[in-house]
Each structure stands twice: as structure tokens, then as C-alpha cells.
Structure 1
């Protein structure tokens, strides 16, 4: 699997939360929300058509066992993954050379963010026995939780050391000793996280696609189906345009499809106001903002528009979302869309 940029990978995480909650931040960029969403391959359709229907019952009966397992994986991923990535980002923000580690001459020492090892342990237990290589998702889940468990133990020790400023008493001796195992664990976790994320997306997409097909067959193109369809298309579009570079023509095609579904849903809701959820207006606004941000992103890549010096200065945590055509802006718009969709499902 090819390595994705930090921003693109973060957005991939967000996309898992197709119709659930927003995803945990993998970096300290406030514009990239906690996509990691979570979870469960919950259906917008079930929430709109029957609010009392539990998300776990949204997937077809024959797949209930696998659906429950997938939802458990997604729930843990979204609960834990952001903490791991945030802690890594925090450490790298002041350790300038990850090959060598802290020099002891740093003017600013931020330490690391904590990882809740108790939550990690709970998920490790819920994941069950080590998986076999015959099941890619289970194997990825086991490797993921093992790597996060290892990282959590090391981060806990390092966080105490740095938060208590013990490095001022031992001239960074322990910090330098901790760095090697810590850096290796971070690298291992990032690799396993990417694989697990990809496998979850594959299985989640299968479940959602099956539900959408069944919904269209039984109810037709009513709002429950259109809601699911436009969110699915929004995710497909995000996966492509979140990359540093992408095929602008392919992105344009996906954007057109997203706009068509969105316009159809808006027209349906307008025509059927009496049966439309009160939360639809917020979702409609979010679809427009995402549409706009996606167009800006596609235009920048299609027209090969470089970032100005001023924009480059803003492309950092906390302000990147204000730059037209940036990954951060389209990511924030997508996360807002996810949150609006989730409110429809509550």
C-alpha cells in the first residue's frame, strides 16, 4: 500500500465515518476532526425511515455477525486512533530529527499526549483471539491493537517523564534512551493503522452498498436512499481529492455525480416538507459547503494553481482550512457534512 500524506490519511479516516460520528484527529489540526467518526456502518436510511431502529440492525440479517464485528472494530478505531496519531504529532513537533531523537538542546519541549491504555486494553479484549491470515480484516485488527498497545505503554512512560520535566534533572538521559523504542513503535503503529483503516473501509463500503441497493429496491429513490447515496458519493470524492495530486477529470466526474444526487435530494425534501426531518436544513447547508470546497479543490489541481506565499504561511494546523482549494478546507467541509448527517440520525 502506498503511503499517504498526513492530511490525506487523516481524511481517509474521516471517510470511515460515513454516517456515524466524526473521526478522531490524527494531527493537531483543528480543521481535521475527530474522522474518525464512529461507527458502525449505521444507515442514514434506518434513522430517517425508522428512528427507533438500532444501527446494528441496519445491515442485512445474514451478515449480522460480521456487521457486529465490523461495528466493534470501527468503534474502537475511532475511539483510539486519534490519540495515537496526536501523540506522535506532538512528539515530532519538537523532536526535529526522529532518527537521532532529542538532542537535549531543544528550546521547547512539548512531550507527548497521553494514550488511554485502559481503553486500548478493553478494545484488545473485545477483538478476541489472535486472527489468522485467512481473514484480512481480523488480521489487520489484531496487528493494529497490538501495535497501539505497545505504543501506549511507551507513551505512558515518556509522558510522565516529560510532563514532570525530569529531563531537566538527568540531562535528557532517559529521554534519549526512550527515543529508539518509541520511534520504532510509532512507525509500526502508523503502518498498522493505515492497513486497518483500509480494511475497515473495504468492509464498511460492502455493507453500505448492499444496504443502499436493498433500500432503493424496496423503497425507491426517496430521501432515506438519497441521503445515503449522496453521503457515499461525498466519501468517494473525498478519497480522491484529499490526495496531494489526483486525476482532475476523474474528480470532476465524481463531483458531477455528487451534485446530481444532492440536487435530487434537495428537490425531494422541498417537495415533501411534511415528512422531512427538521435536521435536513442543516444537512442541506453542509452539502452546499462541501460542494463549494470540493469545487475549489478540483479547480486548484485542474488549473495547476500554486499556493501563494501568504497561503503557504496559512497551511498549518488551525488555519489551513481557510485556504481556498486546500486539503484542509475540503476536509473540514466534509467533517461538517458528517456531523450534520449524524445529527439527522439521532
Structure 2
């Protein structure tokens, strides 16, 4: 059965787009161990480029681009996905058996969090528009359509369940409706999680193409300066989060990626120190986050390399949805990465 514990979410850094959220289907139950992220998460900060100035009336119409198309998809995904997953997780914290549902004897009934049907409806319209835009991205467009349809169906189930639990109606019917709605509610969860994973994978593929092209162009036209270092650091950080976020990973490969990130971070620090006059006001905050991510990534690497087990206190912390406080956990690494993406998106 699908794992419903994916409280910690990872972000894909997109320096010129938005942060991309995803939830790995390989996540462990946080009641047992920390969730393992996938790609490039908690609901992500969603901030894009500053709005462009209004063009002159006779200016030529700009050709559609892959970046522009992805901008809408990623913006909606960030806005909707984390909230939907949090609702699922909330329900799973008190319903101990997701196969059979609530028993009516639970000592604590949390219900579940509201989703955002209004925003889903808006994104459903914008997704249809994006799918019709060039360049054609058949796999992404199909995944987007399936995603928004699954989320729309889940919204309906969640709204009904939220009304029932938030109004304490289960106290009046001895959980009769709660038990009856459990199966269709969980079915909507599973369909959404499957669609979410597929959509995030496709977004990741297309987004990586755009970013790789842009990074190469920046290096060619501007050289290695602030924009280059920001984009390159985010690309390497993503490679680390993809690997170190797994429950188990290739230690040798992780060491190589970590060394590459550190080398680039050191190079960036040296450049920044030598070019203080040209720094953006946001750079110091970004730089601080790159260092925090470096430290947290090394903590995660050491825990797995040295096979350091989680203590009972660590496991209790995971259960309290505070895994980000545990040294060497994927949760803490993802929190540092989320902050890094947020700082990158401020430029």
C-alpha cells in the first residue's frame, strides 16, 4: 500500500523559474524512520523572477519558450502539492491502520488539513493553456493533466472529510460517516500521490534541460560570476539532495558529489570576497544558506557512512514531525535545501 508519511519535502532549485516540489514514493514511515526524499519540498517558498516591464505597444510578440511553459506548471505545483500532501499526512498521524480506517476508539482525532480547491480550479484552467503552448512536451503535459485531475478529485473528498471532522460530527454518529468515507478518501490519496510523483518526475526532466542550457549560456556570455555560481551551486546541491536523501546511498558517489559541491562553494566564496562591490543585496543570505547546506549535507553523509543508528529520542522526534531537528537526518538536510532554494529564488 502507498506510504502516507512524506512530511519532509525536497525542492528542485530553479534559479530562473520557481522551486519545484516533489515527494518520493520510497519514503519510509516517519513513525519508523525518516522519510527519504526524491528529487529536488513542508510546502515550498514560491517566488519567481521580478515582473518584466510592460513592452512598447509595437514590440514583437515574444516566442514561447520551455522556461515560460514550465513557469506556470511549477508555480501551480508548488502552491498545491505540499498542502495536499500535508493533509494526507495529517490524517495518517491518527488513523493507525490506513487499510481499515478509523475504529471510533481513537484517543485523539486530528481530522485532516484543508486543501485549496479554488486554486486547484485556477490551475486546472492554466494547465490546459500551458499544454497547448509550444514547445510540445507530451509526457509533461499528460502528467500535468493527470495530476490536476487527481488533485481535483482528492479536494472533493478532503473537503467533505474536513467538514465532518472539524465540526466534531463523529461524536454524533459514532464515526459512522468517518468509517464510510475512509475507503474513497484513501483511494483519492493514492491516486493523487501516484500522479504527483509522475508529474514531479516530468517537471524535473524538463526543468533540468532548461537549467543546463541556461547555465552553459551564462558561462559563455558572462563568465563565472555571481549568476553562474548561484546556478551552478543549485545544480550541484540538487545532485546531493537526490542522493543523500535516500535511505541508503552509494557512499563513494556521495563523497564525490559532496567534494564537488564543496570545491564550487569555496570557489564561489573566493569570488565573492574579491568582488564585494558587485554583490546583489541578497547574496550574503544565499551564501549563508550554501554554507548551512554544506554542513548539513556532511552530517547526513557521515551518519550513513559511519552507520550511526537513530536513537529512541530521534525516533520520537520523527513521530512529532520534527525530524529536521535530528542531526544527519534527511529531514534536516531537506530543510537546509529548502532554505537554500528559497534564498536563490529571492534574486
Number of matched pairs: 323
The aligned residue for residue 210 of structure 1 is 213
Q: CA deviation at 1:24?
A: 7.0
Q: String of CA shifts for 1:27-74, please: whole Å, max 9, x gaps.
A: 999xx964534366x6xxxxxxxx7868xxxxxx99734322211110
> Are residue 146 (structure 1) and residue 149 (structure 2) matched?
yes
- TM-score, normalization by structure 1: 0.84
CA contact (8 A) 1:17 1:38 kept: no
Kindly indicate whether the alpha-carbon contact (under 8 Å) linking 2:44 and 2:78 is maintained by their aligned counterparts in 1: yes
Please say if residues 16 and 37 of structure 1, whose CA atoms lie closer than 8 Å, have aligned partners that are also in contact: no
The answer for the alignment partner of 1:270 in structure 2 is 273
Q: Give the structure-2-normalised TM-score.
A: 0.84
SS at match of 1:93: helix
**Closer, same or farther: CA 130–331 of 1 in aligned 2, 3 Å:** closer
Measured against aligned partners, the alpha-carbon deviations of 1:187-217 in whole angstroms (never above 9, x if no partner) come to 1101110111111111111101100000101
Which residue of the partner structure matches residue 38 of structure 1?
Answer: 46
Map 1:46-65 → 2, pairs under 5 A: 64-65=64-65
Instruction: Confirm or deny: 8 A CA contact 1:241 1:327 kept in the other structure.
Output: yes
Distance 2:85 2:300 in 1: 25
CA drift of 1:176 comes to: 1.3
In the alignment, structure 1 residue 331 sits paired with structure 2 residue 330:
no
| Aligned residue runs from structure 1 range 304-323, under 5 A | 304-323=307-326
1:190 matched residue in structure 2: 193
Are the equivalent residues in 2 in contact too, given 1:39–1:78 (CA < 8 A)?
Answer: no
For structure 2, the residue ranges without an aligned partner over 5 or more in a row are: 24-28, 54-60
Match of 2:108 in 1: 108
| CA deviations over 1:260-296 (Å, ceiling 9, x no partner) | 1111111111101111112222222111111111011
Give the whole-Å Cα distance in 1 for the aligned partners of 2:264 and 2:164: 53
Q: CA deviation at 1:25?
A: 9.7
Question: 2: CA distance between counterparts of 1:185 and 1:7?
Answer: 16
Residue in structure 2 matched with residue 15 of structure 1 by the alignment: 12
Partner of 1:233: 236
Partner residue of 2:284?
Answer: 281
Separation in structure 1 between the aligned mates of residue 223 and residue 8 of structure 2, nearest angstrom: 35
Deviations 1:126-184 (A, max 9, x none): 11179799811001000000000000011111111111111111111111111111110
1:79 corresponds in structure 2 to 79
* Native 8 Å contact 1:20 1:338 kept in 2: no
Q: Which is richer in helix?
A: 1
CA RMSD after TM alignment: 3.0
Distance 2:285 2:249 in 1: 30
5+ residue gaps, structure 1? 43-50, 55-60
Tell me, in whole angstroms, the C-alpha distance in 2 between the residues paired with 1:123 and 1:269: 40
Query: Structure 1 residue runs of 4+, over 4 Å off?
Result: 3-9, 16-29, 32-35, 51-54, 129-134
Contact 2:18 2:74 in 1 (8 A): no
